């Protein structure tokens, strides 16, 4: 790798006189122009090819076929080959990035302005597949704590918050208990964020901000799920949704409770609620109340959850 360093050093030196080349394509062509020759090739131009040197006792003689002398034509061929290889590699990486973008679009949450990093996209994709498999195989619902936990497993806190925000749920206490640091703040600005789709609390850095029209909540698109709780079939196939998103619900909004405390799934199917402008008013009141009541949210996380089990999205 020292060779590579020297190559880069050589190129950088050559490039240093071209300060204005900020544009990557410009820089790329400069690289291509200047880097047509590898370190070794470069050395060979002047007939200093190691392979052809006499053994001076300091360097062991290398095995293998002797290298051909670098003629001008050969140098040119190498240069052209290197330039072409660079272009192919760029194209290949662009293809890879396009594929990643496509993957991002089918993730449970998608934002043009707040793109998941590559690694987080892959992790979330894995979790999403896993979570949906669980839904199919074990008849779980694609909503709520369990589903969210599966989605967020192994994700960074910002990504977890993003997913939670998109699904309008906060990471739950049990989920949080996995983390050692419980002294960190609970940040209902996340809830505020969820309400307004702006990003004071959600994982803005390093990803930027979320805007409502950029958020694209993508519910799972499996065909039907038999919900054991209500023993009827829910049609979960949701058409692509491009319209404005409705403000999210609080947890209590998403999971309305019957009078006996059991979840009223007829009223609380998360994704369905998501596309409805109805049923929001109740939760709005709660969220707003919470926000005004606890302006800075410097509460230990378990305390906060006890106090506001239904209204907060807690950060790690």
Partner DNA sequence: TAGGCCATCTGGTCCT
Partner DNA sequence: AGGACCAGATGGCCTA
Q: Which residues contact 308 (CB under 8 A, 6 or more apart)?
A: 186, 188, 290, 294
Which stretch, 49-57, 114-122, 144-152, 275-283, contacts DNA (CB under 7 A)? 114-122
276 binds DNA (CB under 7 A): no
Instruction: Answer yes or no whether residue 22 interacts with DNA by CB under 7 A.
Output: yes
CB of 252 to DNA, least distance (A): 29
Q: Which of 89, 177, 266, 298 binds DNA (CB under 7 A)?
A: 89
252 binds DNA (CB under 7 A): no
Identity of the residue, 159 or 254, whose beta carbon is nearer to DNA in the bound complex: 159
Q: Which of 62, 69, 92, 178 binds DNA (CB under 7 A)?
A: 92
Query: Is residue 75 part of the contact set for DNA (CB under 7 A)?
Result: no
Q: Return the residue of 62, 69, 84, 178 that touches DNA, per CB under 7 A.
A: 84
Q: What is the closest distance, in whole angstroms, from the C-beta atom of residue 214 to DNA in the complex?
A: 15
Binding mask 211-230 for DNA (x = CB under 7 A): --------------------
By CB under 7 A, residue 112 contacts DNA: no
Q: Give Cα separations from 76 to 83, 165, 275, 281, 299 (angstroms).
A: 11, 55, 61, 71, 67
Q: Are 107 and 116 in contact (CB under 8 A)?
A: yes
User: Measured between alpha carbons, how far is 27 from 25 in angstroms, rounded to an integer?
Assistant: 5
Does residue 62 touch DNA according to CB under 7 A? no
216: nearest Cα among 147, 271, 142:
271
CB atoms within 10 A of CB 82: 17
CA distances to 163, 197, 309 from 184, rounded to whole Å, are 20, 23, 17
Tell me the CA distances in angstroms from 252 to 36, 100, 149, 169, 194, one per residue in order: 63, 34, 18, 10, 14
Instruction: Give the chain's radius of gyration (CA, Å).
Output: 28
Asked if 119 interacts with DNA (CB under 7 A), we say yes
The region of 169-177, 199-207, 229-237, 273-281 touching DNA under the rule CB under 7 A is 199-207
For residues 157 and 314, the answer to whether their CB atoms sit within 8 Å is no
Min dist CB 33 to DNA, Å, is 9
* Closer by beta carbon to DNA, 37 or else 150: 37
Least gap, CB of 216 to DNA (angstroms): 18
Tell me the longest C-alpha to C-alpha distance in the chain. 93
Q: Is residue 208 part of the contact set for DNA (CB under 7 A)?
A: yes
Q: Is 194 in contact with 243 (CB distance < 8 Å)? A: no
Instruction: Choose the stretch contacting DNA; rule: CB under 7 A; options: 27-35, 163-171, 217-225, 294-302.
Output: 27-35
Q: Which residue of 1, 20, 55, 243 would you call a contact of DNA, by CB under 7 A?
A: 1
Residues 6+ apart with CB under 8 A from 297: 185, 186, 187, 188, 189, 304, 312
In sequence order, which residues have a C-beta less than 8 Å from that of residue 193 and are 6 or more positions away?
A: 165, 199, 200, 201, 202, 210
Q: Does 238 bind DNA (CB under 7 A)?
A: no
Select 24 or 237, whichever has its Cβ closest to DNA: 24
Contact between 188 and 314 under an 8 Å Cβ cutoff? The reply is no
Residue 69 binds DNA (CB under 7 A) = no
CB of 104 to DNA, least distance (A): 10
Interface residue list for DNA (CB under 7 A)? 1, 3-5, 7-9, 11-12, 22, 24-25, 27-29, 31-32, 34-35, 38-40, 77, 81-82, 84-90, 92-94, 97, 115, 117-120, 156, 204-206, 208
């Amino acid at each position: 790798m020292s060779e590579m360093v020297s190559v880069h050093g050589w190129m950088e030196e050559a490039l240093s006189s071209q300060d204005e080349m900020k544009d990557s394509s410009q820089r790329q062509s400069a690289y291509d122009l200047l880097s047509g020759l590898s370190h070794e090739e470069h050395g060979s131009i002047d007939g200093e090819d190691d392979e052809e040197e006499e053994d001076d006792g300091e360097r062991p003689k290398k095995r293998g076929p002797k290298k051909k002398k670098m003629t001008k034509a050969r140098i040119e061929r190498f240069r052209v080959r290197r330039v072409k290889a660079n272009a192919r590699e760029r194209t290949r990486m662009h293809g890879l990035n396009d594929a990643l973008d496509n993957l991002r679009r089918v993730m449970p949450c998608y934002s043009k302005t707040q793109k998941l990093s590559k690694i987080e996209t892959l992790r979330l994709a894995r979790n999403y597949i896993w979570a949906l498999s669980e839904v199919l195989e074990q008849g779980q619902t694609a909503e709520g704590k369990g589903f969210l936990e599966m989605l967020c497993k192994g994700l960074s806190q910002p990504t977890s918050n993003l997913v939670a925000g998109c699904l309008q749920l906060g990471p739950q206490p049990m989920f949080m208990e996995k983390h050692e640091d419980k002294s960190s703040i609970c940040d209902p600005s996340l809830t505020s964020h969820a309400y307004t789709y702006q990003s004071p609390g959600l994982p803005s850095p390093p990803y930027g901000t979320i805007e409502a029209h950029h958020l694209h909540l993508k519910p799972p698109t499996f065909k039907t799920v038999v919900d054991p709780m209500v023993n009827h079939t829910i049609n979960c196939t949701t058409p692509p949704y491009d319209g404005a998103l409705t403000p999210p619900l609080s947890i209590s909004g998403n999971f309305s409770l019957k009078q006996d405390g059991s979840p009223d799934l007829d009223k609380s199917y998360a994704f369905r609620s998501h596309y409805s402008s109805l049923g929001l008013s109740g939760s709005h009141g709660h969220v707003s109340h919470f926000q005004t009541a606890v302006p800075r949210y410097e509460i230990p996380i378990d305390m906060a959850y006890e106090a506001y089990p239904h209204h907060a999205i807690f950060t790690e």
